Structure 1
Amino acid sequence: MAITRIPYPVFLAVLFVMILPHAVAYDPLDPNGNITIKWDIMSWTPDGYVAVVTMFNFQMYRHITSPGWTLGWTWTKKEIIWSMVGAQATDQGDCSKFKINIPHCCKRTPAIVDLLPGVPYNQQIANCCKGGVVASWGQDPAAAVSSFQLSVGLSGTSDKTVRLPKNFTLLGPGRGYTCSQANKVPPSVFLSSDGRRTTQAMMTWNVTCTYSQLLVAKNPSCCVSFSSFYNDTIVPCPTCACGCQNNSTCVIELLFCRSDSKILSVVGVNTPTNDNTPLLQCTDNMCPIRVHWHVKQNYQLYWRVKIAITNFNYRMNYSQWTLAAQHPNLNNVTQVFSFDYKPLVPYPSTNDSGMFYGIKYYNDILMEAGPDGNVQSELILQKDFNTFTFKEGWAFPRKVYFNGDECAMPPPDVYPYLPSSAHGNLVSSLIPLASAIFMLLVHWQ
């Protein structure tokens, strides 16, 4: 049989298509990050079972924000949901064949949402009723769990007759999650509240959902700009980094010449919409979020960076926001002001990444565009003289993520450059007394 020779460009195109679905979900700063959904059958009923479904957000810096998650699947047989605790189906479906006991949901493809806080106690279980908001694992592990209970009928009454649901979907505010098929795993073991007795689930299966930014939008949702003390140049976000100006979603420049009261009176400003359509300040980059990294000061043994995050979206508050960055000197962070900080160690051999997030009840909410629509922090890093330099943009981050989405970066050839006359004497020209005072203050705190 003759073998047809495939042209090399065609081969590369086919190979790219084959690997793309797997590659886009990979996050180099959080390679093991995922949302794991665990389905535990706790007891059998005359026509089915009672199960507890628990969602674990193992992502280090990506959380699910308001209006929260929606979990869906397809039943394999003719299952129904008799009742639920801690969550509800968005659509009951056609239950007309039931005349006495009416099920909670008869749809073959149910969509489940979390209940809001404050529901009656008898409708709650542990880790429910948070409006679908789930914190990231790195930020708050205790709040990175969400659970609900459901009673399933017409499903089989043993591990031999129950069929696993299929085609799981997990939708959040930005969507973007792809879920695996359900996989049967060893039954979960639970410890009683007094720690003296264990119980075991009748049957357990897991579903793993991973995030892909490309599934959310074709454009980034944030961008990064740079500046430094040793160069007057301010490097802005790339033009059209998050799309170009569109007057239907853009507050025109003239509006910002008016008073705040006039801005607030414009229809649509500060008014939520059903589809969360952004209303952005007109900028060259049209990004809802801008992260500015400023190399602020140089000391003998340390250097200082200022980070500012600005919200240009007039319809969005970012609660429990996170900022992740990759830079080789983040393994020597000495002090962070105004933000909480946690190192990220994606691989045992590296420690060049970290996440910043707001201090609870202080600046963990990044307000909508306006005077309060920004948060700022400074960090002090100890120099590693084997690698430290201000040359060739070394002082600027390699990657920046806001709320788990990678931000558009300026091209490296436009980073603020170090004047050639300062290459040899930048450190030696420092005032020794100022360095000594700074060292004393750092170690005193």
Structure 2
Amino acid sequence: MNCQKKPAISDLPPDKKDDEVVGKLPFCCKNGTLLPPLMDPSKARSMFQLQVFKLPPDLNRTALHPPQNWKIDGILNPQYKCGPPVRVDPSQFPDPSGLLAITYAIASWQVVCNITKPKAQASRCCVSFSAFYNNSAVPCNTCACGCNDIDTDTCDAHRNPLLLPPDALLVPFDNRTLKARAWAKQNHMPVPKKLPCPDNCGVSINWHVSTDYKNGWTARLTVFNWRNFAFEDWFVAMDMGKASPGYENVYSFNGTRVPPNNRTVIFQGLRDMNYLVGQVNGTNPLRDPPVPGKQQSVISFSKKNIKGLNIPGGDGFPTRLFFNGEECALPKHFPKKSSGHRRGISVFMSLVFATVAAFALMMD
């Protein structure tokens, strides 16, 4: 029961679907998650039912006033802007008695809500980049999901994040300081007196370029959930830009191309594995940092019929990425294949050649 002028209505969890009091409705109890019809039409709409009572002086039974000023919000979803209710033809429903008859609603209204472009630093998820040809990982941007005044008193909200060893991406931000400082010292990188602020994102996604060969390349997508709650029926959508036509397969997720141009690919967990658990305590809470919920898969791409594709040059990284419809903040930079890396390979090959030549001379 709620008598507020602006009540918040929450979708019920799936275990209430067959509840005798609040369940037994078609398309009810989706836990606040709606999937695109392309992925699963049965999960593309949700229904809930309210009992509305009239209070004095509004006791006229024939006067119906639909709720105004609709707003859709959630734990992690895009921002919506809703229009006013518009009277439409009464909706049709199957007869609750089970007979082959149609029951009409007394009155129906339609409210249309459109996704709006998020404001700067208003994302709720972010992306980090890493690659096999570079030892450092580029973490999420500083304050990618916003920073408050309390944070900026102890950290710098305008400084680029420090490069990290890839294993540090598994650790909560508060536990990365020692790793970041040690990594900077090992790689002769400067460390500012006032360290960059955290990204403050509840979900982060790591995109790792795994291989790059003549006819194709592979990447690994890892989703981290830093919240205390789980995401059911989560999905990731991304645009790979120039490399998009080369998408071949994903091995631990379901992958679906989005027509008509097929530039966007949607990934979701396999059946019975589409539950992204929340963050839990480490094995020893007093010593070990919390462990995020995690799911990952390898994705393969082809280079066939794509001219001038340069994976280390940036073509191997997504140009846009979404989690549950929310656009995630991408890093400002991507790992680069330095000339030092190439020289290291050349020196190694020279040593191998010299060893083989010396062995041949000994045999002669």
TM-score by length of structure 2 reads 0.63
Change in CA separation of 1:219 and 1:300 when aligned onto 2, cut-off 3 Å: same
Q: What are the Cα deviations for residues 170-215 of structure 1, in whole angstroms up to 9, with x where unaligned?
A: 3433584432100122333446698965454443210122344747
Residue 335 (structure 1) shift:
1.5
Match of 1:220 in 2: 123
CA distance in 2, matches of 1:342, 1:192: 37
Query: CA separation in 2, counterparts of 1:209 and 1:174?
Result: 17
Structure 2 residue corresponding to 1:380, chosen from 289, 300, 310: 300
Separation of aligned partners in 2, 1:155 and 1:109? 22
Do the aligned residues in 1 keep the contact of 2:234 with 2:268 (CA within 8 Å)? yes
Closer/same/farther in 2, CA of residues 124 and 417 from structure 1, 3 Å limit: same
Q: Does the 8 A contact of 2:212 with 2:311 survive in 1?
A: no
Aligned partner (choices 308, 312, 321) of residue 234 of structure 2 = 321
Superposition map of 1:76-225 within 5 A: 89=1, 91=2, 93=3, 109-114=6-11, 117-118=15-16, 120-127=19-26, 130=29, 132-137=31-36, 138-150=38-50, 152=52, 154-157=59-62, 162-173=64-75, 176-190=79-93, 197-212=101-116, 214=118, 218-225=121-128
The whole-number CA distance in structure 2 between the counterparts of 1:236 and 1:283 is: 12
Residues 4-23 of structure 1 correspond to what in structure 2 (within 5 A)? none
CA distance in 2, matches of 1:242, 1:326: 21
Q: Distance in 1 between matches of 2:176 and 2:107?
A: 62
The aligned residue for residue 351 of structure 1 is 262
- Structure with the largest fraction of strand: 1
Distance 1:135 1:360, change over 3 A: farther
Please provide the CA RMSD for this pair.
4.0
Distance 1:184 1:363 in 2: 38
Partner of residue 255, structure 2: 341
Q: CA 1:337/1:367 → structure 2, altered by over 3 Å: closer, same or farther?
A: farther
Partner of 1:411: 332
Contact 1:230 1:419 in 2 (8 A): no
Alpha-carbon offset, residue 403 of structure 1: 2.7
1:110 Cα deviation (Å)?
4.9
For the pair 1:399 / 2:301, whether they are aligned, the reply is no
User: Is the Cα contact below 8 Å between 1:324 and 1:400 reproduced in 2?
Assistant: yes
Task: Pick the aligned partner of 1:361 from 272, 279, 288.
Answer: 272
Q: 1:129 to 1:188 in 2, by over 3 A?
A: closer
Mapping for residues 222-301 of structure 1, pairs under 5 Å:
222-243=125-146, 246=151, 252-253=174-175, 284-301=198-215
**Alpha-carbon separation, structure 2, partners of 1:226 and 1:112:** 38
Aligned counterparts of 2:41 and 2:80: Cα–Cα separation in 1: 20
Percent sequence identity over aligned pairs: 28
Is the contact between residue 393 and residue 417 of structure 1 (CA under 8 Å) also seen in structure 2? no
Q: Which region of structure 1 is more displaced relative to structure 2, 373-382 or 190-199?
A: 190-199
Aligned mates of 2:134, 2:143 — CA distance in 1? 25
Q: Determine the structure 2 residue equivalent to 1:9.
A: none
With over 3 angstroms needed to count, the CA separation of the structure-2 counterparts of 1:303 and 1:202, relative to structure 1, is same
Q: Tell me by how many angstroms 1:306 deviates.
A: 1.0
Give how far 1:115 is off: 5.1
Indicate if the aligned counterparts of 2:205 and 2:224 stay in contact, CA closer than 8 A.
Answer: yes
303-312 or 134-143: bigger deviation: 134-143
Alignment of 1:19-58 (within 5 A): none
**Equivalent residue, structure 2, for 1:306:** 220
